[in-house]
Structures are given as C-alpha cells and as structure tokens.
C-alpha cells in the first residue's frame, strides 16, 4: 500500500457510457479491460423484481451492465467469495467490486494475495436496511396499483449528476408505464436512521482503503479541478498501491483524467463514521408500529405539506438572495 493514495478526477471518453453510469464511468472502463482479456467481473446488481441487491458473476458486458449504477441497499454475497477463489485458481483475471467491508471479508477468506485479482471498493456512505427498501417498493406499487419493473437510485439523465432523486418505473395492469420520482428512500438513508448499526463504527472511513483502487463520486470537483465538471458525472479515483497504478495505466487511454490531491478531494465519508442519530430508536419504534405512508411523510419528506414547506423555503431563499444583490 502507498502511504497516501494517488488522486484522479476521471471521465470516460465515451459520453454514452458516462450517461449510463452514476459518476464518471470508471467502473465500466476497468471492467471492460478485464472482460476483453477473458477475465470475470463480480459486482452488485438488483434481482429480477428489484426487491434486493445481490453480488453476481459476469463474463460478458451485457451481464456486467446490470452492475453499473448505484444501489443504496445491502448486497447479498451468496457464494461469490468461494467462486472468486475458484476463478483465481483456474487462472482467470478477476475484478471484484464492493464496499470496503466486503473487500476485507474477501481478503480474509482468500488468506493470500493473488496477482490476477483486482480489488475495487467504493467510498461508502453506509449500508441501508434491505427491509426499508422492500417496504418502500411495496408502498409505491400499492400506491399506484402497479408493479416495479425498473429502478434508478439516482436519475442522472433527468435531474443531472448532482441531484439525488430515485426513479421507479411502474407498470400497471394495462401495460402502461409511469415513472415515480421520489426522495423518500434517500431522505431516510441520508438521515442515517436506516443504516446498519455496525456502520456507525465503520473502520474504513479513512483515506486509505483495503482495495487496490477506490472509487466514488467526485463531489469536490469544482474546487479541486475547476472547469472539469459538466454535470454529467466525474469519478473520484484513488490509487492505493502499485497493482492499482499498473491497472490504471492500462485503461487510462479510455479516460479523460486530471490529478488532484487528498486535501482537495476530502469528504466526510473519508474521515469518520457517521454518528448514530439520537432518536434512532424512536425511528425504529415508529417504523414497527406505523405504516410506511406515515414514515414517508415524517422521515422521507413525502406529501403535499412537505412539498409546500420545501417550496416556501426555496422561495424565501430566492427572495433573500435577490435582496442581498441590492
């Protein structure tokens, strides 16, 4: 491991790939390299009814494409660690992507270093409860009397990279598809009520991570690399060791990139775990006693009253900014 990571702001050269990615398309670039060299890729995808996330194995780009994009729920590993070990012993180049704790778990299972293993972790905000996600889906389906056929945890195409709105594609009995745009699940997640208790003591909220390469959204891009952001997504890429450096050199022909520094890219998720909310027990007590509609309005800022409050707050802010000009 390096004493401090090499830091890059990264955008894929292919605009279509970047638009299908949630940040700058770095995961697609590195997984393309592995697949084009007869390797295998492990990553997170949603199951057929979108109710849970699970790690799976990909040997084609079509299979890999299901892993692209953010999934803000806990991923089930299943037998992936054992399958990774088998693939490594069979001589395949293996790319494994996941949270830092999943990377650390895989390394503990393998008990040795493999030259043909590439590890990529994400800078993690925390892992939300799978139950809350499943209940959220069922609430939306019942509300619109439809079935969820697609999920975008951050709809960059409609709202831009910086926005954080989830979109559910809902299909009714007539076959008509409508989109439900919401911040309910995001608001519960970002308030830290729904993340796992262990996340409040996460040992990986640090600048150094257990993977060869660490990736995230480069939220500090405007101050770190002025003029690089076009609101289509920029990946923050941290190169943690020599293996990561060699892999980056092999794929950088597909990337637009600029160097930065640890100080300029620093985010709270790279410094310390989030504190446990003082009223977390109150949240879960209500969750187990009330219906999801109640929770959506109280904690997810859903409904007309909350919409009015947001509009009023936004309006006051605009008036205040105009007054300050004079």
For the entire predicted model, the pTM comes to 0.92
- Give the integer Cα–Cα distance in Å for 237 and 214: 6
Q: Which of 68, 147, 98, 118 is nearest to 243 (CA)?
A: 118
- Give the integer Cα–Cα distance in Å for 269 and 272: 6
What 3-state class would DSSP assign to 177? strand
> Which two tokens mark 84?
């990774």
Q: What pLDDT shows up at residue 314? A: 47
- Give the integer Cα–Cα distance in Å for 9 and 215: 10
What is the per-residue pLDDT across 177-233, written as a single tens digit (0 to 9) for each? 999 999 999 999 999 999 999 999 999 999 999 999 999 999 999 999 999 999 999
> Which two tokens mark 218?
């480069």
> Which two tokens mark 78?
């299943």
Residues ≥6 apart with Cβ < 8 Å to 4: 207, 208, 262
C-alpha to C-alpha distances, 187 to 16, 112, 160, 190, 302, nearest whole angstrom: 29, 40, 18, 5, 9
Is 267 buried (19+), middle (13-18) or exposed (0-12) by CB count in 10 A?
middle
Half-sphere exposure (CA, 13 Å, Cβ side) for 196?
Answer: 14
For the chain, the first-to-last Cα distance in angstroms comes to 54
**b/e string for 85-123 if b means 16 or more Cβ within 10 A?**
bebbeeebbbbbbbbbbbbbebbeeeeeeeeebbbbbbb
pLDDT band of residue 326 (cuts 50, 70, 90) is very low
Q: What pLDDT shows up at residue 324? A: 45
Contact 283, 299 (CB under 8 A): yes
Helix (H) or strand (E) holding 217: strand 213-217
Sheet holding 235-239: strands in order across?
A: 75-76, 53-58, 40-46, 94-99, 117-122, 213-217, 235-239, 6-12, 255-260
pLDDT band of residue 305 (cuts 50, 70, 90) is low
What is the per-residue pLDDT across 142-155, written as a single tens digit (0 to 9) for each? 999 999 999 999 99
> Which two tokens mark 2?
């390096």
> Which two tokens mark 250?
């092999």
DSSP string, 19-74: HHSSSSSHHHHHHHHHHHTT-EEEEEEE-TTSS-EEEEEESSHHHHHTT-S---SP
Determine the average pLDDT of the residues in 105-124.
97
The rounded mean pLDDT for the chain is 93
Residues ≥6 apart with Cβ < 8 Å to 45: 53, 54, 55, 56, 66, 67, 71
């Amino acid at each position: 491991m390096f004493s401090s990571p090499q830091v890059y702001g990264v955008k894929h050269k292919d605009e279509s790939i970047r638009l299908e990615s949630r940040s700058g398309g770095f995961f697609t670039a590195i997984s393309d390299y592995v697949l084009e060299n007869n390797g295998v890729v492990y990553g997170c995808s949603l199951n057929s009814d979108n109710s849970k996330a699970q790690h799976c194995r990909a040997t084609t780009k079509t299979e890999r494409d299901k892993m692209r994009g953010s999934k803000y729920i806990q991923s089930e590993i299943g037998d992936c660690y054992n399958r990774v070990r088998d693939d490594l012993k069979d001589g395949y180049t293996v790319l494994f992507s996941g949270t830092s704790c999943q990377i650390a778990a895989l390394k503990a299972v393998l008990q040795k270093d493999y030259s043909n293993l590439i590890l990529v972790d994400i800078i993690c905000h925390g892992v939300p409860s799978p139950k809350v996600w499943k209940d959220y889906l069922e609430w939306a389906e019942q509300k619109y009397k439809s079935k969820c056929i697609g999920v975008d945890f951050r709809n960059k195409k409609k709202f831009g990279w910086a926005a954080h709105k989830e979109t559910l594609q809902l299909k009714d009995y007539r076959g008509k598809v409508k989109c439900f745009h919401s911040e309910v699940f995001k608001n519960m997640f970002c308030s830290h009520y729904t993340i796992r208790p262990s996340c409040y003591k996460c040992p990986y909220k640090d600048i150094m991570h257990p993977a060869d390469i660490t990736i995230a959204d480069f939220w500090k891009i405007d101050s770190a690399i002025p003029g690089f952001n076009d609101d289509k997504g920029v990946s923050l890429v941290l190169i943690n060791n020599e293996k990561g450096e060699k892999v980056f050199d092999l794929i950088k022909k597909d990337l637009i990139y600029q160097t930065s520094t640890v100080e300029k890219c620093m985010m709270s998720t790279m410094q310390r775990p989030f504190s446990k909310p003082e009223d977390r027990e109150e949240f879960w007590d209500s969750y187990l006693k009330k219906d999801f509609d109640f929770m959506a309005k109280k904690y997810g800022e859903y409904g007309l009253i909350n919409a009015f409050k947001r509009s009023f707050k936004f309006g006051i802010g605009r008036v205040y900014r105009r007054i300050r000009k004079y």
